[in-house]
Protein backbone atom coordinates (compact mmCIF):
# COMPACT_ATOMS: atom_id res chain seq x y z
CA UNK A 1 0.00 0.00 0.00
CA UNK A 2 2.83 2.39 0.77
CA UNK A 3 4.22 1.77 -2.73
CA UNK A 4 0.89 2.64 -4.31
CA UNK A 5 0.87 5.98 -2.53
CA UNK A 6 4.52 6.68 -3.26
CA UNK A 7 4.09 6.81 -7.05
CA UNK A 8 1.55 9.65 -7.15
CA UNK A 9 3.66 11.70 -4.74
CA UNK A 10 6.68 11.24 -6.94
CA UNK A 11 4.69 12.34 -9.97
CA UNK A 12 3.58 15.41 -8.03
CA UNK A 13 7.16 16.27 -7.18
CA UNK A 14 8.23 15.91 -10.82
CA UNK A 15 5.26 18.00 -11.95
CA UNK A 16 5.97 20.78 -9.42
CA UNK A 17 9.66 20.83 -10.38
CA UNK A 18 8.75 21.09 -14.05
CA UNK A 19 6.41 24.02 -13.38
CA UNK A 20 9.11 25.78 -11.34
CA UNK A 21 11.67 25.43 -14.13
CA UNK A 22 9.19 26.73 -16.69
CA UNK A 23 8.36 29.72 -14.47
CA UNK A 24 12.05 30.48 -14.03
CA UNK A 25 12.63 30.44 -17.77
CA UNK A 26 9.61 32.66 -18.35
CA UNK A 27 10.72 35.26 -15.78
CA UNK A 28 14.31 35.15 -17.05
CA UNK A 29 13.09 35.70 -20.61
CA UNK A 30 11.02 38.70 -19.51
CA UNK A 31 13.98 40.25 -17.69
CA UNK A 32 16.23 39.76 -20.72
CA UNK A 33 13.64 41.34 -23.02
CA UNK A 34 13.30 44.36 -20.71
CA UNK A 35 17.06 44.85 -20.49
CA UNK A 36 17.44 44.70 -24.24
CA UNK A 37 14.71 47.24 -24.96
CA UNK A 38 15.06 49.76 -22.13
CA UNK A 39 16.34 52.71 -24.14
CA UNK A 40 15.06 51.52 -27.53
CA UNK A 41 18.59 51.36 -28.97
CA UNK A 42 19.20 47.59 -29.03
CA UNK A 43 21.04 46.54 -32.16
CA UNK A 44 21.59 50.11 -33.33
CA UNK A 45 24.80 52.06 -33.55
CA UNK A 46 25.81 55.71 -33.57
CA UNK A 47 26.65 57.21 -36.96
CA UNK A 48 28.41 60.53 -37.54
CA UNK A 49 29.03 62.54 -40.72
CA UNK A 50 32.57 62.51 -42.08
CA UNK A 51 34.09 66.01 -41.98
CA UNK A 52 34.78 67.63 -45.33
CA UNK A 53 37.51 70.16 -44.64
CA UNK A 54 37.15 71.85 -48.01
CA UNK A 55 40.64 73.37 -48.13
CA UNK A 56 44.13 72.03 -48.76
CA UNK A 57 45.72 70.99 -45.46
CA UNK A 58 49.21 72.55 -45.18
CA UNK A 59 52.10 70.13 -44.61
CA UNK A 60 52.81 71.78 -41.24
CA UNK A 61 49.28 70.96 -40.06
CA UNK A 62 48.99 67.43 -41.46
CA UNK A 63 50.06 65.61 -38.29
CA UNK A 64 47.75 67.57 -36.00
CA UNK A 65 44.79 67.28 -38.38
CA UNK A 66 45.28 63.52 -38.75
CA UNK A 67 45.50 63.19 -34.97
CA UNK A 68 42.20 65.01 -34.51
CA UNK A 69 40.51 62.97 -37.26
CA UNK A 70 41.66 59.82 -35.45
CA UNK A 71 40.30 61.36 -32.24
CA UNK A 72 36.88 61.77 -33.90
CA UNK A 73 36.90 58.05 -34.81
CA UNK A 74 37.87 57.17 -31.23
CA UNK A 75 35.02 59.28 -29.86
CA UNK A 76 32.51 57.42 -32.04
CA UNK A 77 33.88 54.06 -30.90
CA UNK A 78 33.66 55.10 -27.25
CA UNK A 79 30.09 56.34 -27.72
CA UNK A 80 29.05 53.08 -29.39
CA UNK A 81 30.61 51.11 -26.55
CA UNK A 82 28.67 53.24 -24.06
CA UNK A 83 25.52 52.59 -26.08
CA UNK A 84 26.14 48.85 -25.98
CA UNK A 85 26.95 48.63 -22.26
CA UNK A 86 24.09 50.92 -21.19
CA UNK A 87 21.29 49.03 -22.94
CA UNK A 88 18.23 49.14 -20.68
CA UNK A 89 19.32 52.24 -18.75
CA UNK A 90 17.43 55.50 -18.48
CA UNK A 91 14.27 56.73 -20.14
CA UNK A 92 13.39 57.55 -23.75
CA UNK A 93 15.84 60.49 -23.86
CA UNK A 94 18.76 58.64 -22.27
CA UNK A 95 20.74 58.14 -25.49
CA UNK A 96 20.35 61.79 -26.53
CA UNK A 97 21.18 63.27 -23.12
CA UNK A 98 23.87 60.87 -21.93
CA UNK A 99 25.60 59.83 -25.17
CA UNK A 100 24.76 61.86 -28.28
CA UNK A 101 24.82 65.26 -26.54
CA UNK A 102 28.25 64.86 -24.91
CA UNK A 103 29.57 63.29 -28.14
CA UNK A 104 28.52 66.37 -30.10
CA UNK A 105 30.39 68.64 -27.65
CA UNK A 106 33.55 66.54 -27.97
CA UNK A 107 33.33 66.61 -31.76
CA UNK A 108 32.84 70.40 -31.80
CA UNK A 109 36.05 70.80 -29.79
CA UNK A 110 38.02 68.42 -32.05
CA UNK A 111 36.73 70.06 -35.24
CA UNK A 112 37.61 73.47 -33.86
CA UNK A 113 41.16 72.25 -33.17
CA UNK A 114 41.37 71.15 -36.81
CA UNK A 115 40.34 74.63 -37.93
CA UNK A 116 42.90 76.22 -35.63
CA UNK A 117 45.72 73.91 -36.80
CA UNK A 118 45.08 74.75 -40.44
CA UNK A 119 44.56 78.44 -39.70
CA UNK A 120 48.06 78.79 -38.27
CA UNK A 121 49.55 78.15 -41.70
CA UNK A 122 46.83 78.87 -44.27
CA UNK A 123 43.28 80.12 -44.74
CA UNK A 124 41.24 78.81 -41.84
CA UNK A 125 38.29 76.59 -42.84
CA UNK A 126 34.95 77.80 -41.52
CA UNK A 127 31.91 75.96 -40.21
CA UNK A 128 33.36 72.51 -39.54
CA UNK A 129 31.16 72.32 -36.45
CA UNK A 130 28.25 71.49 -38.76
CA UNK A 131 29.73 67.97 -38.90
CA UNK A 132 29.50 67.58 -35.11
CA UNK A 133 25.97 66.17 -34.56
CA UNK A 134 25.60 62.39 -34.75
CA UNK A 135 22.53 60.18 -34.83
CA UNK A 136 21.30 56.75 -33.84
CA UNK A 137 21.16 54.40 -36.80
CA UNK A 138 22.20 56.98 -39.40
CA UNK A 139 24.10 60.24 -39.46
CA UNK A 140 21.96 63.39 -39.56
CA UNK A 141 21.96 65.60 -42.64
CA UNK A 142 24.79 68.14 -42.68
CA UNK A 143 23.63 71.72 -43.23
CA UNK A 144 25.18 73.69 -46.07
CA UNK A 145 28.02 76.02 -45.05
CA UNK A 146 26.97 79.56 -44.25
CA UNK A 147 27.43 81.99 -47.12
CA UNK A 148 30.16 84.53 -46.55
CA UNK A 149 30.26 88.09 -47.77
CA UNK A 150 33.44 89.61 -49.20
CA UNK A 151 35.28 92.15 -47.11
CA UNK A 152 34.61 95.76 -48.11
CA UNK A 153 37.31 97.12 -50.37
CA UNK A 154 36.77 100.79 -49.52
CA UNK A 155 38.70 102.46 -46.74
CA UNK A 156 35.86 102.35 -44.24
CA UNK A 157 37.62 100.45 -41.48
CA UNK A 158 37.01 96.81 -40.69
CA UNK A 159 33.35 96.85 -41.76
CA UNK A 160 30.26 95.61 -39.93
CA UNK A 161 29.63 92.31 -41.71
CA UNK A 162 29.68 90.37 -38.46
CA UNK A 163 27.78 93.10 -36.57
CA UNK A 164 30.46 92.95 -33.88
CA UNK A 165 32.44 96.15 -34.36
CA UNK A 166 33.75 97.40 -31.02
CA UNK A 167 32.12 94.57 -29.08
CA UNK A 168 33.64 91.79 -26.98
CA UNK A 169 32.63 88.32 -25.92
CA UNK A 170 31.75 87.99 -22.26
CA UNK A 171 31.32 84.70 -20.43
CA UNK A 172 29.91 83.88 -16.98
CA UNK A 173 32.39 82.96 -14.26
CA UNK A 174 31.72 79.41 -12.97
CA UNK A 175 30.67 79.28 -9.32
CA UNK A 176 32.50 76.45 -7.55
CA UNK A 177 32.24 75.64 -3.87
CA UNK A 178 34.38 73.41 -1.67
CA UNK A 179 36.84 72.20 -4.30
CA UNK A 180 38.77 69.27 -2.74
CA UNK A 181 42.51 69.82 -2.38
CA UNK A 182 43.24 66.75 -4.54
CA UNK A 183 41.25 68.22 -7.43
CA UNK A 184 42.43 71.83 -7.12
CA UNK A 185 45.31 71.64 -9.60
CA UNK A 186 43.16 70.12 -12.33
CA UNK A 187 40.28 72.51 -11.64
CA UNK A 188 42.62 75.54 -11.77
CA UNK A 189 44.04 74.27 -15.06
CA UNK A 190 40.56 74.03 -16.58
CA UNK A 191 39.59 77.47 -15.26
CA UNK A 192 42.67 78.86 -17.01
CA UNK A 193 41.60 76.96 -20.11
CA UNK A 194 38.21 78.71 -19.98
CA UNK A 195 39.96 82.09 -19.85
CA UNK A 196 42.18 81.09 -22.77
CA UNK A 197 39.16 79.98 -24.82
CA UNK A 198 37.46 83.32 -24.20
CA UNK A 199 40.61 85.23 -25.19
CA UNK A 200 40.93 83.19 -28.40
CA UNK A 201 37.27 83.83 -29.23
CA UNK A 202 37.73 87.57 -28.75
CA UNK A 203 40.81 87.48 -30.98
CA UNK A 204 38.80 85.60 -33.61
CA UNK A 205 36.07 88.22 -33.27
CA UNK A 206 38.57 91.02 -33.81
CA UNK A 207 40.33 89.48 -36.82
CA UNK A 208 37.12 88.37 -38.54
CA UNK A 209 35.37 91.74 -38.49
CA UNK A 210 33.48 92.18 -41.76
CA UNK A 211 33.23 88.46 -42.52
CA UNK A 212 30.06 86.46 -42.99
CA UNK A 213 26.41 87.37 -42.63
CA UNK A 214 24.30 88.39 -39.64
CA UNK A 215 24.70 84.98 -37.95
CA UNK A 216 28.45 84.69 -38.48
CA UNK A 217 29.45 85.47 -34.88
CA UNK A 218 26.91 83.00 -33.45
CA UNK A 219 27.70 80.17 -35.87
CA UNK A 220 31.48 80.58 -36.22
CA UNK A 221 32.54 81.92 -32.81
CA UNK A 222 29.95 81.76 -30.02
CA UNK A 223 28.64 78.31 -30.94
CA UNK A 224 32.03 76.57 -30.98
CA UNK A 225 33.01 78.48 -27.83
CA UNK A 226 29.98 77.07 -26.02
CA UNK A 227 31.03 73.54 -27.04
CA UNK A 228 34.59 74.07 -25.78
CA UNK A 229 33.42 75.55 -22.49
CA UNK A 230 30.93 72.72 -21.96
CA UNK A 231 33.76 70.20 -22.33
CA UNK A 232 36.03 72.10 -19.92
CA UNK A 233 33.25 72.47 -17.35
CA UNK A 234 32.49 68.77 -17.64
CA UNK A 235 36.16 67.99 -16.94
CA UNK A 236 35.95 70.20 -13.84
CA UNK A 237 32.89 68.28 -12.63
CA UNK A 238 34.63 64.95 -13.27
CA UNK A 239 37.81 66.06 -11.46
CA UNK A 240 35.84 67.10 -8.37
CA UNK A 241 33.63 64.02 -8.55
CA UNK A 242 36.62 61.69 -8.35
CA UNK A 243 37.44 62.79 -4.80
CA UNK A 244 34.26 64.46 -3.58
CA UNK A 245 30.67 65.24 -4.43
CA UNK A 246 30.33 66.01 -8.12
CA UNK A 247 28.88 69.48 -8.80
CA UNK A 248 25.75 69.56 -10.93
CA UNK A 249 24.67 72.05 -13.56
CA UNK A 250 28.03 73.60 -14.41
CA UNK A 251 27.00 73.55 -18.07
CA UNK A 252 24.86 76.63 -17.36
CA UNK A 253 28.11 78.63 -17.37
CA UNK A 254 29.02 77.48 -20.91
CA UNK A 255 27.08 80.04 -22.94
CA UNK A 256 28.73 83.39 -23.69
CA UNK A 257 27.34 86.52 -25.30
CA UNK A 258 28.39 89.51 -27.36
CA UNK A 259 28.40 92.82 -25.45
148-163 pLDDT per residue, tens = 443 333 333 333 344 4
Mean pLDDT computed over every residue of the chain: 77
**Are the CB atoms for 255 and 198 separated by under 8 Å?**
no
Distance CA 108, CA 228 (A): 7
Structure confidence at residue 9 (pLDDT): 53
Distance CA 151, CA 162 (A): 10
> At how many degrees (to 10) do helices 101-119 and 223-243 cross?
120
> What would the mean pLDDT of 105-131 be, rounded to a whole number?
88
> What would the mean pLDDT of 10-23 be, rounded to a whole number?
41
**Which one is predicted more confidently, 100 or 208?**
100
- Burial class for 85, CB neighbours closer than 10 Å (0-12, 13-18, 19+): exposed
**Are the CB atoms for 124 and 211 separated by under 8 Å?**
no
pLDDT band at 142 (very low <50, low <70, confident <90, very high): confident
Q: Which of 192, 157, 62, 46 is nearest to 117 (CA)?
A: 62
> What would the mean pLDDT of 125-129 be, rounded to a whole number?
86
Pairing mode, strands 135-136 and 169-170:
unpaired
**Which one is predicted more confidently, 4 or 242?**
242
Dihedrals phi, psi of 169, to nearest 5 degrees? -90, 130
Q: Over the stretch 197-249, which tens digit does the pLDDT of each residue have?
A: 999 999 888 888 777 777 888 888 998 999 899 999 999 999 999 999 998 88
Distance CA 47, CA 98 (A): 16
Share of the chain above pLDDT 90, in %: 34
**Are the CB atoms for 35 and 125 separated by under 8 Å?**
no
Range scoring the smallest mean pLDDT among 18-27, 71-80, 92-101, 144-153: 18-27
Query: Does residue 23 surpass a pLDDT of 80?
Result: no
Range scoring the smallest mean pLDDT among 13-27, 108-122, 239-253: 13-27
Query: Does residue 69 surpass a pLDDT of 90?
Result: yes
Dihedrals phi, psi of 140, to nearest 5 degrees? -70, 160
Structure confidence at residue 121 (pLDDT): 85
> What would the mean pLDDT of 136-158 be, rounded to a whole number?
57
- The residue extents of the domains of the chain are 48-140, 164-259
pLDDT band at 124 (very low <50, low <70, confident <90, very high): confident
**Are the CB atoms for 162 and 208 separated by under 8 Å?**
yes
Structure confidence at residue 138 (pLDDT): 80
Structure confidence at residue 146 (pLDDT): 59
Structure confidence at residue 149 (pLDDT): 41
Structure confidence at residue 229 (pLDDT): 92
Strands (DSSP E) contained in the chain are: 46-47, 135-136, 169-170, 257-258
Q: Which of 64, 71, 69, 67 is nearest to 52 (CA)?
A: 69
User: Would the CA dihedral through 107, 187, 237, 229 be positive or negative?
Assistant: negative
Query: Does residue 102 surpass a pLDDT of 70?
Result: yes
Structure confidence at residue 42 (pLDDT): 61
Q: What is the pTM of this model?
A: 0.46
- If you ran DSSP here, which 8-state letter would residue 257 be given? E
Structure confidence at residue 164 (pLDDT): 58
Distance CA 132, CA 179 (A): 32
> Which contacts of 121-125 are long-range, i.e. CB under 8 A and separated by 24 or more positions?
121/58, 121/60, 121/61, 122/55, 122/56, 122/58, 122/61, 123/55, 125/53, 125/54, 125/55
Query: Does residue 38 surpass a pLDDT of 70?
Result: no
Amino acid sequence: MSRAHAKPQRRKRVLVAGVAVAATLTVGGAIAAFAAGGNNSAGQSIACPKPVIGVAVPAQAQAEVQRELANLDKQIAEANNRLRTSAGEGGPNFVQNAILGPLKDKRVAALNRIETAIGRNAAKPEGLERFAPCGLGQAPAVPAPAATSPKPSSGTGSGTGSSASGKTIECPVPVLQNVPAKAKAEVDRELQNLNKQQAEANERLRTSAGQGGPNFVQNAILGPLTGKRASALDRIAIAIGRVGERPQGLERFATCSLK
